[in-house]
Structure formats: structure tokens, C-alpha cells
Structure 1
Amino acid sequence: MSITKDDVKYIAKLAKLKFNDDEAEIFAGEFENILEQFKTLDKLNLNDIEIEKPNMAVVRKDIPKKCQIEDLYSNVKIMRETYIEVPKIIE
């Protein structure tokens, strides 16, 4: 699979990024190198490899604490009454 400048520009549009033609060409080459690395990994025989699983799940202790409403909404850009408005990302 070959990555083209148009593919990079399409991905950038989905991520709401903008690249000029030179940058898109560079990223196309970098994406192509990444895909080549995955092709190399796909060729490896990993059937005899054992994966060690921990006996116990490692989780942090859940410590409840009170917070102020102002702190909770401090990074919100747009509020409508009691709702947080987020930008549409799916076209």
C-alpha cells in the first residue's frame, strides 16, 4: 500500500490539520516507513513466545475528593445552560 500526498491531506483534514505540499510529501514518506515496519513485524513467527500475565491487576487506589464546579468546567469553551457544547468531528 502506497501512501500519497492526497492520503496525507485527507487524514490531515479529518484531524483538522493543514499541511502544504512539501510537508504532505514528507509525511507520506514517513507513513510509508511506518507501514514497512509493520510488514516486517507481520513476517515474524511469534507462535512459540509465551506472554507473562500478572497474577493481579495493577490499578491505582480510587480516592474520592470534592471539587469546585468552577474547577470542573474551567477548560470548557462553550456552555449552554448546564450542557457542554463540543465541536462536530464526524462529517
Structure 2
Amino acid sequence: MSDKHVDIDTVKYISKLSKLKFTDNEAKKLAGEFEAILGHFETIDKVDLSDINVNEFDEVNTEFRKDVPKVFEDKKKLMQNVKSLRDGAIEVPKIIE
């Protein structure tokens, strides 16, 4: 396990940024789950990939669909879950600290 640990305060900070609310018990449970997830990443990070040629997949012929813009006709349905509109655009709250 790494030197950094996910504690309840870290979970509460993340939840504040994501506008989620957790009880202390939920935050404690999530802290443990985050620790487990980070542990998995540490395990993956230890895998030796030195014999893997990352350029091997450059030769693959990938077919892409054409990116064709389409007009969405049912604007009412499109905007049914939008909390705030300004000048026809979706307005979202500022979340950067």
C-alpha cells in the first residue's frame, strides 16, 4: 500500500467537489473502498511491461464512422432535465476551486 491514505476528510473533500453528501459511516466505507482501488492500481503499476511493444497497434486499420452533425428535433425532450438555461445554452455551476 502507498504512503498516502484515503481518510474520511479526503472522502468529504471529494464529495464536496462532486456535490455529493455522505454520512460519516458512508464516508468511512468509501475511504476503505478507495484504498482498495488504489491498491489495485499499485499492483497494476508493478507489472513489467518492458517487453511490450506499444507501437504494435499503430499498424491496425481502424475503421471510423463519418462524423456527421445532425439536428436534434425534439429540443423539449433534450432539455427536460436541464436545471438552468441562459441564451439557449445549458448553464452549469462553477466547480473549480
Query: What is the TM-score normalised by the length of structure 1?
Result: 0.77
| Percent of aligned positions that are identical | 49
Q: C-alpha deviations, 1:22-51, integer Å up to 9, x for none?
A: 000110001001111111112111100234
The root-mean-square deviation of aligned C-alpha atoms, in Å, is: 2.4
In structure 2, C-alpha distance between the alignment counterparts of 1:67 and 1:20, rounded to whole Å: 41
- Alignment-derived partner of residue 23 in structure 1: 26
Aligned length: 91
In structure 2, C-alpha distance between the alignment counterparts of 1:80 and 1:2, rounded to whole Å: 42
- Alignment-derived partner of residue 8 in structure 2: 5
Consecutive unaligned residues in structure 1, runs of 5 or more? none
Query: What is the TM-score normalised by the length of structure 2?
Result: 0.74
In structure 2, C-alpha distance between the alignment counterparts of 1:83 and 1:61, rounded to whole Å: 26
Runs of 4 or more above 6 Å deviation? none
- Alignment-derived partner of residue 87 in structure 1: 93
Consecutive unaligned residues in structure 2, runs of 5 or more? none
- Alignment-derived partner of residue 60 in structure 2: 55
